[in-house]
Structure 1
């Protein structure tokens, strides 16, 4: 999909793009039906960063989306499988029902969808009052493995840094760390840092830009970012900076890709090294992947998609683009949305406290 690059950030086109995606997605998204909640998160968060969430979506529409998200919650009433509680990615397996727990044996939440659900609820202005906090935190204890890593759900054999991050972000947003053994999690992160300074998805794998922010954001959320024994900070910064050509690429000898401007850029931001990024080159690359119909593609010749479109916005936010809200890189939530959420939490606590 070719379109002439422009030096202008197309704010109104991006707003229109995310509005369209909330209403109708191209047929190519059919294979992503089980991750519909995450696709929604990209759209909600994109509109929030653009400062238009509450203007383009009415209060009733936002409430409708909140109710739809809660409809994806897997509670103890639905299934009693240990480690299965939280949110699933969409209604692909049918409506939640408590009538037959045996039938629901494979109706399980997963950590990525639970993270997406909580972020979306925060951005949409919910207070998380309907979140089954106890069961989610209890599930985390079942999903953490002896090596400190996490699997996304009880039937998965995947165990990598992405799910460590999801667990840490969930605990932070719920303000309850009782489901995570921090010492083991830090040990797993340390084992994932490779000889070249980058982080792999799991110990012994190749360093990959997609998990740089997962590693360092998890450490920051757990309070171990400044722990010299947790990881080699200078080596991680050097590895991240080596991945920049114009934009960033995820592995050695790969092409630059819009999404790594967040995955690697946010990792550098968390480590306090974002000032070392060549922002002029990155901006030129991102403007080349920006599409005239709104959104961003993976590369300059690609059609836009929700993931790369949202990650493009986060990169522009971190670069200080006028009109975009400030991003909290370790949570991937705007500062405005997060502060409003904490204010709602404080207000709810005051209302529930005895006089």
Structure 2
């Protein structure tokens, strides 16, 4: 089956941060905050978060904060709720959430400019989406501010995205997709609302995502992709149906996607590696309880010890 090339993956992740001028870095500049979350969380799961300079990371994250309170994907870019979540998650990894002005961040768009209380929807540019619902719910949960929204209406919107096959779409009537299912199941888990799910029906749909190679795909008739080792597995774990897939075959698929010479993990064997799939491959192995990896929480998408620390923390005053 092979082994996880831990040290090489650590070197690869650290090298991504140092590259500034190559093609991949330039085209990904606008979402560098996401890349920081993927890379740093992967390092933490590997037990190597101490290889980075905490003060340097926190300083850069805060330099991406917009005057409105939200965070951009990089310095000089516009704020976005997705990058705001990644910024909060990175700060949580280092136990630095206290550097945030929560009152300012709430005004920035977590509950006012991205939440419509009358409909329980989260949106960006007037786009209702279960994805943005999950992002806002998770961000507010990390900040102990979930009570600042109408949770019941938010849950009702998530439930309205449920389909006859047990899955969920991006919007009501949208096609069931593993990524959107994760967003909806995660949002329902964070709000204590998993009872709205037909767990057997959804579990069947999700376990059918495993193909002959052992990998998982996002929807029927698609190729497997390492990233679905997170989207599908986390959902199966949250609904207690993860035993319906072949874990050994999935582990082998993820390990086969490694670059064992230079580090990093790709979407499929022999493809080019990137930090996105490196994170989701390592996170998937964590969910599969691969030896020596820290456990990750399937709803919070952060290591369990980080989540426990946040849960035990005091509420941020507003």
Taking structure 2 as the reference length, the TM-score comes to 0.91
Which residue does the alignment assign to 1:104?
Answer: none
Match of 1:191 among 155, 160, 172: 160
- Partners of 1:223 and 1:176 in 2: CA distance: 15
> Does the Cα contact within 8 Å between 2:142 and 2:310 map onto a contact in 1?
no
Is 1:214 the counterpart of 2:183? The answer is yes
- Partners of 1:296 and 1:149 in 2: CA distance: 35
Is 1:38 the counterpart of 2:34? The answer is yes
Deviations 1:164-211 (A, max 9, x none): 111111111110124322111111111111121111111111111112
- Partners of 1:157 and 1:14 in 2: CA distance: 40
Write the mapping of 1:246-261 to structure 2, written as runs, cut at 5 A.
246-261=214-229
Taking structure 1 as the reference length, the TM-score comes to 0.82
Write the mapping of 1:158-169 to structure 2, written as runs, cut at 5 A.
158-169=127-138
Match of 1:73 among 62, 65, 83: 65
Report the CA distance shift for 1:31/1:157 in structure 2 as closer, same or farther (over 3 A).
farther
Match of 2:203 among 233, 237, 241: 237
Deviations 1:123-152 (A, max 9, x none): 1231x1221212333432331245433114
- Partners of 1:137 and 1:184 in 2: CA distance: 19
Which residue does the alignment assign to 1:112?
Answer: 82
Is 1:334 the counterpart of 2:289? The answer is no
Which residue does the alignment assign to 2:112?
Answer: 141
CA positional deviation for 1:341:
4.5
- Partners of 2:56 and 2:275 in 1: CA distance: 21
User: Which sections of structure 2, spanning at least 5 residues, go unmatched?
Assistant: none
Match of 2:277 among 285, 302, 308: 308
CA positional deviation for 1:163:
0.9
Deviations 1:234-255 (A, max 9, x none): 2221111111112110111000
Say how many residue pairs are matched.
310
Is 1:10 the counterpart of 2:2? The answer is no
- Partners of 1:176 and 1:215 in 2: CA distance: 19
> Does the Cα contact within 8 Å between 1:66 and 1:121 map onto a contact in 2?
yes
User: Which sections of structure 1, spanning at least 5 residues, go unmatched?
Assistant: 1-5, 80-84, 94-106
Which residue does the alignment assign to 1:150?
Answer: 122
- Partners of 2:24 and 2:291 in 1: CA distance: 33
Match of 1:52 among 48, 54, 57: 48
CA positional deviation for 1:339:
3.2
Deviations 1:317-342 (A, max 9, x none): 01111111011110111112333445
- Partners of 1:53 and 1:137 in 2: CA distance: 29
> Does the Cα contact within 8 Å between 1:150 and 1:159 map onto a contact in 2?
yes
Which residue does the alignment assign to 1:88?
Answer: 72
> Does the Cα contact within 8 Å between 1:38 and 1:89 map onto a contact in 2?
yes
Deviations 1:301-323 (A, max 9, x none): 21111111100001110111111
2:30 counterpart SS class? helix
Is 1:19 the counterpart of 2:14? The answer is yes
CA positional deviation for 1:294:
1.1
> Does the Cα contact within 8 Å between 2:166 and 2:197 map onto a contact in 1?
no
CA positional deviation for 1:92:
3.5
- Partners of 1:15 and 1:165 in 2: CA distance: 29
